[in-house]
Structure 1
C-alpha cells in the first residue's frame, strides 16, 4: 500500500484496513491497531486479516467472505469477532476490491446492540461453527492417529494435533513404562526436558488443569499408556484449549498406542524368527573372509524367504549361497529353511553347482512353497581361487576385483528352481579369483524398485561397489545396503553375502 497516512485515516472511529489480494494486511489505522493491541509494523506484510479473527470468523472469512469478495467485488455489514488484547470484540465488516490494483479496502465498526433474535442467530451460528470446527479437528486427529503404525508415529500425531488445530503453544508426550515411570516420548514447541512432570493424579480419563498446563490422560484398553501435557497459547485473545476435544484425542491416542505396541511386538517376534532361521556361524579361515548383511522388509510384519549360507564341503572348497523363496509369511520362511538345509545336504565333493540345482529341482516339487525360488550358488577352491558357480533365476553375482571395476557375472544362468525347461540341463560357469578379489551374492530386493528398470538397479550396484573399494568386508556390505536402500521403503527383504579371497 503506497499512500500517506492522513489525519482522517487515523482519526476515524472505525477500524480501517488495506489488504493485499490474499488478505495480508498492508496498512491499518490507529483505531484498528488499538483494538488488536498491535503496532502497524507487526501486521504489515506479516499477518492476514483472517488470523486476527475468532475461530468462527476465520472459518467464515475463508469459506464465504473472501470468495464472495473476489467474485462480487464487495461485501457489506457482516458480523465477525476480532481477537483483541482485551478479548473478543464484535464488529461489522464491509469491504470492497479496488480495480485494477486488486487492493482490498476494509471498514470495521463496533457492533451496536441488536435485537434478541439477531443475537440468538449469531450465537447459534457460532456454536454451529465451533461444533463443526471441533468435528473437523477430531476427525483429522483420529485419521492421523489411525495411520500411526508405531509408537513414535502415534506420539508424533498426538503432538501435531495438540499444537496445531487444538491451539497448544507446546506439548510433551509422556509414555508410561510397565513399572509406572514416565519417560519422554516426544516434544513439540519446547526444549526436551523442560515440561514439568505431571503433579495431579491421573485417575480420570478427562483433560485436567495442572498449573499452567493441560494434562490429557492417554488410556489404552488395560492401562494408562501415556500423558499428553499441553501448554496453552499465551498471546492476548488466543483461543483457549478445548478440553473436550483434547480428551477425545487422548482416548483415540490410547487405542492407537495399543495397536502400535501390538504391531511392534509382532514385528519384533517376526524379525527374531527370521534371524533365527538365518542364524548360522560363518566358517573362518585365514584364506578368506565372509561378510553378510540382512535387512528385513518393514512394510508388513510377515517374515520373508531371503537367506544366505556359507559352509565347507571339503578341506579346500568353500560353498557360498544366497537364495530367495517367492512370497512372504510363515510358509515362505519354512520353505526357506528347508531349501537351505537341502542345499547343505546335496552339496558335496564331486557334485558341482549345475548338478546341485538339478537335484534341487526334484526337491522343491515336494515343497510347493519353494517352487520358483531363486538361488545363486558358488564353490570356491581356496587354494587356487577357481570358482564354479550357477544361478537359477537369481540376479547375477558381482565380481569386485582388487584392481579394476566391478563387473556382473552373467554366465551359468538358468531358470528358477522347479521350473527347469524339459530336455535342457542346468549349466554352470567358472571364474578365477586373484588375491584381494571379492564376489558378492545378493537378493533382488537390493536392486529392484517399482517404476525403475532392472538395468538401472544393476548399474547403481556397480557404481556403489566401485565407490566402496578399499573398505573392509563388513563395512562394505553395510554401506552397500545403506546406499542402495536409501530410496526404498522396506517393501522387500534384502540379503548380501560378500566373499573376499585373500
Structure 2
C-alpha cells in the first residue's frame, strides 16, 4: 500500500483549518491585552457589516459593544476575565456598522505568556437566537413555577382562613370553598368522624345532595370517603366506570348527581385521619398530578385546623390575643419613627378595642400628646360633650407625675392618668364622654428600659368587665411601650446618622469668581445608615481646582470610614502635582495596601481656571456630563478604567482632556441618579442628559435638587450625590426660574457671580442686584398671582459699557392699588436705572382701559462706571 504524502505546515490541512475558522457558524476574534483586534473571522465580519481592514489593528473589541455593554465590560466582564482567565456565556449586544444591534452570547479566554502575563484574548461569539430551545425550556419552567406559586398561594390563603375558623363547620366551609377554587371542582363535601369513631358525618350542608349515604355513613361502608379515612389515603376516581369497578354503590350516586369524576383527600392529624374532603368534577374540570401533593398538604392542614377548632374556648381566646399582638407588632414595626408608630397604634385600637384612644409621652417630665383617635360622635350635642371631656382630661393630665395627687379607680378623668404615671399601675375612671352610654377610661403606663415613659389612654365600653381584661390590656401596654421606645431610638439614630453624613461631606467652599461649584446629596429612603457616596472640590494651586465624586461599596460606618479615608487620600495625592491618571494609580496602591474602599468608583478631574482645560479620569465611574451654553450636551466617555484595586490586571490608568467654554456646566454624579431596577442604564442616561439640558439656564443652586426630583423616586434604594461646576463667565447672563420667590436667592447668587467679573464699584453692583431681584419678584407676584407653574426669564448683557437687563414673564399684570404701600417696586427700579420700559404696557400708569394682556417684558438699562484699576 502506498503511503499518503505527509501534510506539512503549509499543506492542505492548514488551508482547511483556515477555511473552517473563516466560515465557522460562530464568530471568532482575537485581541491584544488592551482589546485591540488582531484577528477576526469572516462570519463575524459579515454579521457586523465591516471589512477586515476596518477593524484589525484599528478598533477594540469594547468599541463594538453597546454603551451598556462597555460599562459592563469595564465593571464585570473585564475584571472577571483577568482574574479567572476566562468568562463564558456572557449576554451582550454588538453594534453593526449601520448602528443596529446583534444580541449575542460570548465566551472569552485569556492566553498567558511564559511569565504568566496576559498575551492575548480569544473570543467566541454566538447569536442569541441559538438560545431558542433554552428559552422554551425556561418558559416551561416559568409556567411550572407560576403554577407552584398559585398552589402556594392557595395553601397560604387557606392556612390563614383556617386560623380564623372557630368551629368544625367553619373549617369545612373554608376548606370546600378554597379547594374547589384551587382545582376547579363543581362540588365538595367534608365528613368528620363522630364521637363513636365509627361513623362519618357531613359537616358542611350548603348545597349538599340529600342522598343518605352522602350525609351519614358507617366507617366500614364500601364507599370512597369511608375508605379514604380508614386507610388514610387519597382516592381518585377518574370516571364513573372507574368508580363502578371499585365502589359499585357510589358509582350510582355519582351518576345520579351528574358528576364524571371524584377525588377524596383524608384530613389527618399525624398518622390518623379524622375526616375527609370529597370533590366532584364535570367534564370541564381536571386535577393535575402536580396538584396531588398540594391536596395532601391541605388535608394535613385542615386536619390540624379541625383539631384546633375542638379545643377549649380559653385556648381560642389566648390564640386570638397572641394573633392580635403579633399583628399589632408588625403594624407598628412598619412605621420607623415615634410619632408614626403612635398614630398607627391609636388607629389600630379604635374601633377594634376602644371607643377612643390617645398616646401621651413624657418630654422634660411633662406629658406631650403624640396621637389620638376616636369613633365619630352621633350629633352636635355629643360632639360638644366629647370635646369638653377631652379638654378637661388633657388639662388634668398635663401635670407633672411627681406633683399628681393620689387617685383610686373611679376617679374623674385626668387624675387617673397622673396616678398611672406616678404608680406605674393601670388606673380606671368612669365617664360618659360621648353620650352613647356608660364608658370607662383606662390609663395604662408605657414602659421602656425599666422606667415609665408615657401613658396609653383608652375609652372602653362600660357594660363589659373591664377589670377582668386588665391583664390583657397590661400586656398590650407593655408591647406598645417597647415599640414606641424603639421608634424614639430610631428617630435619635436617624438624626445622628444624618449629622455624621453632613459632617463627612462638609468642606471649605471655593471662592473664586472664575468658577462656581454647587453640590447636592440625598440619602436613600429613610434609612439609619450613612452612605458611601461623596463629593469634593478644592484648589490645587492659584489657577486650578480639583473636582471629585466617588462611591464606596456598601453602607454604614465602614463605608463612611472608607469614604473619609479615600477623600483624604485624594486631597493628599492631588497636592503632589500628579495628573489624574497617575493619581488614580497611586490611589490603587493606597487601597491595596490598607484594604479600604476596594472596588470603589471615582471620577477625578482638574480644571484650569484660566483656560477651561479639564483633565479627568474615571475609575469605574459613570461619565461626567457637560452642558454647553448653546444647549449642546455630551457625556465624557474618555479616560475610563476599572474600579479601584479591582485586581483586574490594570497596568496603567487612562485619562482624557477637554476644554470647557465660558458658561459651561460640568455635572459629576453617582449611580443612584440613573440606575433603576425597572429601566435600562442607557435609557436613564439619555433621560439625564435631556432633563439636565432643560435646566441649563436654571440658577445653579436650584438646578441640582430640581434635577434629582425629576429623576429619582421618593423610595430610592441608593444614595444620590451630585457636584456641578459652572466655569467662567457667560458673555450673556441668561436664567429661567419657576415663579417662586424661594428661587430668588439662587438667582441673586448667580447674578452676583456674573457681575463680579466686571470692574464695578460695590455700590453699583449692589444696585444692579437689587434691581434684578425686585423686577423678578414683581414678575412672580404680579404676573403669576393665580398660577403655580409660571416661568420667569432673566437676561443681561453689556454692550459699550451699557448693561441691559430684561425680565420676561408669560402672565398678566394688574394695576397697583394706590390705597396700599404695595406696587412701589417700579419706582425703586426707575430710580436706580437710566431707562426702564415695560411692554405691552406700563403697569405704573395703567394699561389703557384697564384690560390686562398676557406676557410682560421689563427692559432696564444703565451706563456702567468702571472702577479704576488699582
TM-score between both structures, scaled by the size of structure 2: 0.41
After the TM superposition, which residues 204-219 of structure 1 pair with which residues of structure 2 at under 5 Å, given as runs? 204-206=424-426, 208-209=428-429, 211=431, 212=433, 213-219=441-447
The 5-angstrom pairing of residues 238-387 of structure 1 reads 243-297=470-524, 301-348=528-575, 351-387=578-614
Question: Which of structures 1 and 2 has the bigger CA Rg?
Answer: 2
Q: Is the 8 A contact 1:171 1:189 kept in 2?
A: no
Deviation at 1:391, TM superposition (A): 0.7
- 1:220 aligns with one of 448, 459, 474: 448
Shift of 1:436: 2.8
1:414–1:335 CA distance, 2 compared to 1 (3 A): same
Residue 458 of structure 1 aligns to a residue in which SS? helix
Matches of 1:331 and 1:134 in 2, distance apart? Answer: 42
Is 2:342 the counterpart of 1:155?
Answer: yes
- Return 5+ residue gaps in structure 1 as ranges: 1-56, 75-93, 100-123
The question of whether the paired residues in 2 share the 8 Å contact of 1:154 and 1:253 is answered with no
Taking a change above 3 Å as real, the CA distance of residues 125 and 351 of structure 1, as seen in their structure-2 partners, is: closer
The aligned counterpart of 1:54 is none
Quote the Cα distance in structure 1 between the aligned partners of 2:549 and 2:694.
23
SS in 1 for 2:491: helix
Query: Whose relative contact order is higher, 1 or 2, with alpha carbons under 8 Å and at least 6 apart?
Result: 1
Q: 1:394 deviation in Å?
A: 0.8
Matched length: 402
* 3-state DSSP of counterpart to 1:320: strand
Alignment of 1:83-482 (within 5 A): 129-164=316-351, 166-185=352-371, 187=373, 195=390, 196-197=393-394, 198=397, 199=414, 200=416, 201-202=419-420, 203-206=423-426, 208-209=428-429, 211=431, 212=433, 213-232=441-460, 243-297=470-524, 301-348=528-575, 351-404=578-631, 406-419=633-646, 422=649, 424-450=651-677, 452-482=679-709
Separation in 1 of the partners of 2:483 and 2:715?
A: 26
| Aligned-pair CA distance for 1:406 | 4.1
Residues 368-417 of structure 1 deviation map (CA, whole Å, 9 limit, x = unaligned): 02222211111122223222211111111122233325433222111112
Q: Secondary structure at the match of 2:532?
A: strand
Q: What CA deviation, in whole Å up to 9, does each residue of 1:315-369 have, x standing for no partner?
A: 2212110112223333332222221112112214853222221221222222202
Structure 1 residues 430-476: Cα deviation after superposition (integer angstroms, max 9, x where no partner): 22323332111112222223454333432343343244343222222
Contact 1:174 1:227 in 2 (8 A): yes
Change (3 A) 1:206 1:390: same
Structure with the bigger percentage of helix: 2
Question: Could you say which residue in structure 2 is the equivalent of 1:494?
Answer: 720
Deviates more, 1:143-152 or 1:154-163: 143-152
Distance 1:414 1:263, change over 3 A: same
Whole-angstrom CA distance in 2 between matches of 1:186 and 1:474: 41
Query: Where does 1:60-79 land on structure 2 (aligned, <5 Å)?
Result: 63=170, 67=174
Q: In 2 relative to 1, CA 464–172 (structure 1 residues): closer, same or farther, beyond 3 Å?
A: farther
SS in 2 for 1:255: helix
Return the alpha-carbon distance in structure 1 between the equivalents of residues 356 and 499 of structure 2.
Answer: 38
What secondary structure does 2:631 align onto?
coil
Distance apart, 1:69 and its partner CA: 10
Q: Distance in 2 between matches of 1:58 and 1:423?
A: 66
What is the CA distance between 1:62 and its match in structure 2?
A: 10
CA distance in 2, matches of 1:188, 1:248: 22
Measure the CA separation in 2 of the matches of 1:188 and 1:314: 67
Quick one: distance in 2 between partners of 1:479 and 1:188?
40
TM-score (norm 1): 0.68
Separation in structure 2 between the aligned mates of residue 293 and residue 323 of structure 1, nearest angstrom = 13
Tell me, in whole angstroms, the C-alpha distance in 1 between the residues paired with 2:699 and 2:467.
59
Change (3 A) 1:206 1:461: farther
The separation in 2 between residues aligned to 1:214 and 1:467, in whole angstroms, is 60
CA distance in 1, matches of 2:430, 2:364: 24
Distance 1:499 1:414 in 2: 23
Tell me if the contact between 2:347 and 2:373 (Cα under 8 Å) persists in the aligned partners: no
How far apart are residue 61 of structure 1 and its match?
A: 11
Shift of 1:278: 1.8
Question: Cα–Cα, structure 1 residues 221 and 411, in superposed 2: closer, same or farther, change >3 Å?
Answer: same
User: C-alpha deviations, 1:139-173, integer Å up to 9, x for none?
Assistant: 32133334543213422332233125x33344332
Q: Is the 8 A contact 1:175 1:185 kept in 2?
A: no
CA offset at residue 190 of structure 1? 7.1
- In structure 2, relative to structure 1, the CA distance for the partners of 1:177 and 1:189 (3 Å cut) is farther
Rounded Cα–Cα distance in structure 1 between residues aligned with 2:649 and 2:175: 75
CA distance in 2, matches of 1:62, 1:469: 70
* Contact 1:331/1:369, CA 8 A, preserved across alignment: no
Structure 2, unaligned runs of 5 or more: 1-163, 181-186, 190-203, 210-310, 378-385, 398-413, 434-440, 730-870
Instruction: Output the CA distance in 2 between the equivalents of 1:210 and 1:470.
Output: 67
